[in-house]
Amino acid sequence: MNQEIKPVSNPFESKINSIQVLRAAAALTVTIYHLKDVIKKGEPFKQELDYFFNSGPSGVALFFVISGFIMVYITKQTTFSGLAVYKFIARRFVRIWPTYAVITLVYFLFQSRIGLQAGAFKDVILSLLFIPVTHTDPPFYGYAFLPVGWTLNYEIYFYALVAISMFFSKYRWVVFFIIIIITLVIMPHTMGFITLEAQRTYDSGNGYLNMVMNPIIWNFVYGVIIGLIYTNEKLFPFFASLFSRVWLVFMFISLALWQYWSGFFGGLGPLQWGFGSSLLFLSFIFYTSQRSIAFPNWLVKIGDMSFSVYLVHVPVVVILGHVFKRLGYPVYSTGTSMFFLALFMTMVASYLSYEFLELRLSTYLKRMLPFMKGR
């Protein structure tokens, strides 16, 4: 990567392209992890893709860490009031729900043409309301109708915690951490089952209650802590200086990559991929904070489109496979060539989704909401 390094005059106001690069990495690891299943054992690139992307779900942990950081970053200069909280919720809503709803409904319409399983309509409604489908199988809790949507249940819950905390102005993060201690420590302890493994938790019998107590939420907390350090004018210089040491950054990134490839402590818990993702994010964000690095434009663009990439890749590969079968060419519905076709078409569909849903539709809906006329 060609880079020109020079001090950044105001790291708090500059666009953090390094975050977009990490978003791109997270989206691509999850996407390739899912798409590689169309390649059968013994076919070209199967062994290599399995090695490099068997830990693809770790991208979810990285997404959660990034979300925690971003919530601190974008609320730093907020003047807290009822209106400010409303605008925060409205922006999060139009950023997430319209794109997710359209893609979910398109996928539902497609599935309805080839045959729906019992309870599919109920699953769609619960998914669009960000409610877990079941109370078993942590941390997914039944997945959503659009399978990757299970992570958005956590995302929206985290946004709700931030919104509640914003009512307490300068004490907002104190309140946030109090809620976290109650839901992730006190409540599980009361039920006699504390764990940091996201896939092995207490079953209260209620899907949403299980979700709010799931330790996967600690990954958001990692991001919040990093964000509080990054936006603190006293702590920022120390950490920026600390991570200006290339050897330290290289060591942290190497450890994160080693965990990813080796499968060491693999899982979505805070002491599993969550910890490695936090090391990666912490070192990367502070190393790049005072350097102007010319990241490849295509990588930054994928980061911009990462939400759409994350949402559309499963429908794309399912629809492509079905089309080939309906045309009488089932042999082309699987294999290495199908993998690359699905990956390329995911990029095309993601671009269209980003331009027309994430940008245009969301902007239109934002203008329609009260008190949201400004940019």
Distance of CA 347 to the CA centre of its chain: 17
Q: What is the pLDDT of residues 290-344, one digit of tens each?
A: 888 889 999 999 999 999 999 999 999 999 999 999 999 999 999 999 999 999 9
- Please identify which residue in the block is written with the tokens 């020109």: 4
Other C-beta atoms lying within 10 Å of the C-beta of residue 88? 19
Q: Which pLDDT value is given to residue 278?
A: 97
Query: What Cα–Cα distance (Å) separates residue 340 from each residue in 12, 31, 38, 317?
Result: 39, 12, 10, 10
Stretches in the chain below the pLDDT threshold 70: 1-15, 373-375
Q: Which pLDDT value is given to residue 15?
A: 54
Burial (CB count <10 Å: 0-12, 13-18, 19+), residue 313: buried
DSSP letters for 326-340: HTT-GGGGSSHHHHH
List, in order, residues 6 or more apart from 77 with CB less than 8 Å away: none
Euclidean distance between CA atoms 204 and 188, whole angstroms: 10
Q: Which pLDDT value is given to residue 82?
A: 87
81-86, Cβ contacts within 8 angstroms, sequence gap of 24 or more = 82/167, 83/371, 84/166, 85/163, 85/166, 85/167, 86/371
Structure-token pair, residue 375: 């940019």
Is the Cβ–Cβ distance between 19 and 303 less than 8 Å? yes
H or E element that contains 104: helix 82-114
Nearest to 77 by CA among 169, 175, 177: 169
